[in-house]
Chains A and B, each alone.
Chain A
Amino acid sequence: MYLICGTVPKKDLPLTLGVVKFLGPVISLDGVEIPCTQGTAALISAACVTAGYLRLSPPRALLVGDDGTGKGSRVLYDYLIKNISAMSPGVLLLHYMLPVMGLMKKVCESASKTKKRLFMIADAAAMYAAKAAGLAASFDVFTPDLSEMAFLADPDAMHPAYVSRHLFESDASKIPELVAAAYRHKNAAKMLMVKGSTDYIAADGKIVGTISEPDVPALEAIGGTGDTISGMAGAFICGGFRPLDAARATFRANRMAGQYAGATPATRIREIIEALPRVFDEHLEEWKKAENSS
């Protein structure tokens, strides 16, 4: 089971668990429609499209409304602490939620009690909470952008807003150094997927892959293009891809979808997601063959 957990900007949505469907303008969870916009909804949309293409069961989602007060996030943490061990999803992805270090520690404690070890991915503020609580190494994948990579490299920062200025001002050429620092301070997951003008894949402190084509600079401006990366990666992992292969396929697909959608700074994330099936149709087999022969 691929379980995606996060908050959505629908304040009155109680904690809801169910199978999610991507319906284009919206995702549907237990009859509730949530607009496919930046955040966990974009992540789920990309995960659904990828899982559908791979003929996997659709992802399940555990979502709650939260407008930033953290009330919904705390309910979500509470449910995970009590139930994640019994649910035992194969892949657990934690996304938009108020970072609360003490609660994230308890979630990780509960997750460690499953019979079969979970594959754990964190993005957005779930990643901030995991790093700030000293739990990064409990996770299999983090998906930071450049500013978040600087946050992981900074041993003292509790949130990317408090990153040291010299680290924040690092350009993309410094990513290998930031990666090394993050691993040195034990603030990195087993694999890092660093999204940017060049995407970097790091494992055990070393850069193990880079993807830079096609170059679509506008992707950085489009809200949700990082979320789609996390959602796709989780689906590929569920589909049996090795983590490194999943990371490569994800980065390539995201870029190619941006190109197919003719991305500009005004493009909406839904347009990128809707281009994914064509990308998979035209390229996924070729990428898989290339991975198998390498």
Chain B
Amino acid sequence: MVFGFTKRNNFEGGGIVLFTSVEEAIAAEKVLKAGEYETKLVAPPPDLRKGCDLALEINLVEKTGVERMLRAKNLSFLEILPVKSGSELLQVVQVTDFGGAIMVKAGNMKLTFDRGSGVILNVSGGGCPDIPYLHAEMLDKKLAEAPRPRDVGYTLCSLMLDRAFVESLDIWSNGRK
């Protein structure tokens, strides 16, 4: 049984894009709406206020795709932050040595590559819809030849996978020197 696509439901974000000027915020809203992102012009919460008095609420999980779209349209913005203050994007990575393979973990994502060849053996963890897609795109490719998750994915899971990917590339490159 196949169903058609229907209109969207209500939006509840959790992320906020900050701008220097009101004009930038309005232009960004137009571009993101055209790209079918759900957005809402809002006043930034007092503790996050930087730049102008207008911000865009977005679904925080879509940070990667939103950033890419704004940059592609040459629209400047100051920062994308969670509405709840105090939260920072994880920067730390953890490395597990399996002997012939190395697993790099960033947030909820793990990338495992062959120590000798640099071929990506597995991608695990995560939960956003771009991860199974990235899994299929990256497996069996050499780290140096695989697409960067940040350039292909749309979500925070892909951003975490990008962190693991960059660290893996670094470990593998240094191991060859």
B21 lies within 8 A of chain A by Cβ:
no
A115 lies within 8 A of chain B by Cβ:
no
Interface size on A, residues (CB 8 A): 79
In contact, B160 and A125 (Cβ under 8 angstroms): no
B45 lies within 8 A of chain A by Cβ:
no
Question: Number of contacts between A and B (CB, 8 Å)?
Answer: 229
- Contacting residues, chain B, for A151 (C-beta < 8 A): 108
B74 lies within 8 A of chain A by Cβ:
no
B123 lies within 8 A of chain A by Cβ:
yes
Q: Which of B6, B36, B61, B92 contacts A169 (CB 8 A)?
A: B92
In contact, A37 and B132 (Cβ under 8 angstroms): yes
Chain A CB count within 10 A is highest, among B2, B60, B125, B135, for: B125
In contact, A67 and B129 (Cβ under 8 angstroms): yes
| A72 to B126 Cα, complex, angstroms | 18
- Contacting residues, chain A, for B128 (C-beta < 8 A): 68, 96, 98-99, 124-125
In contact, B3 and A16 (Cβ under 8 angstroms): yes
A224 lies within 8 A of chain B by Cβ:
yes
**Residue of A at shortest CB range from B13?**
A101
In contact, A128 and B3 (Cβ under 8 angstroms): no
| A234 to B121 Cα, complex, angstroms | 28
Knowing A39-B132, A160-B160 are in contact, say whether A16-B124 is a contact too (CB < 8 A). Answer: no
In contact, B132 and A157 (Cβ under 8 angstroms): no
Q: Which of A102, A160, A218 contacts B9 (CB 8 A)?
A: A102
Q: Which of B92, B112, B131 contacts A39 (CB 8 A)?
A: B131
| A79 to B124 Cα, complex, angstroms | 28
In contact, A223 and B129 (Cβ under 8 angstroms): no
In contact, B122 and A159 (Cβ under 8 angstroms): no
In contact, A101 and B3 (Cβ under 8 angstroms): no
Interface of A is mostly: mixed
> Which of A6-14, A50-58, A250-258 lies on the face that meets chain B?
A6-14
- Contacting residues, chain B, for A40 (C-beta < 8 A): 132
**Residue of A at shortest CB range from B5?**
A75
Contact with B along A209-230 (1 / 0, CB 8 A): 0000000011011111110000
Knowing A98-B59, A125-B127 are in contact, say whether A158-B84 is a contact too (CB < 8 A). Answer: yes
- Contacting residues, chain A, for B153 (C-beta < 8 A): 68
B1 lies within 8 A of chain A by Cβ:
yes
| A210 to B131 Cα, complex, angstroms | 29
| A105 to B10 Cα, complex, angstroms | 10
- Contacting residues, chain A, for B123 (C-beta < 8 A): 38, 223
Interface residue ranges of A119-165 to B (CB < 8 Å): 123-128, 132-133, 145, 147-148, 151, 156-165
Interface residue ranges of B145-169 to A (CB < 8 Å): 153-160
B53 lies within 8 A of chain A by Cβ:
no
In contact, B84 and A156 (Cβ under 8 angstroms): yes
- Contacting residues, chain A, for B90 (C-beta < 8 A): 160-163, 165, 168
Q: Which of B9, B59, B62, B108 contacts A77 (CB 8 A)?
A: B9
- Chain A contacts to B: CB under 8 angstroms: 7-9, 11, 14-18, 30, 35, 37-41, 66-75, 77-79, 81, 95-103, 105-106, 123-128, 132-133, 145, 147-148, 151, 156-165, 168-169, 217-218, 220-226, 264-268
A-B contact pairs, 27 of them (CB 8 A): A16-B2, A37-B135, A38-B124, A69-B36, A71-B5, A74-B8, A75-B6, A81-B9, A96-B131, A98-B155, A100-B11, A100-B12, A100-B59, A125-B126, A147-B108, A158-B14, A160-B90, A160-B160, A161-B159, A162-B60, A162-B87, A162-B89, A220-B96, A221-B121, A221-B122, A221-B124, A265-B98
Complex A-B, nearest 3 residue pairs according to Cβ-Cβ distance, in ascending order:
A68-B130, A124-B127, A102-B12
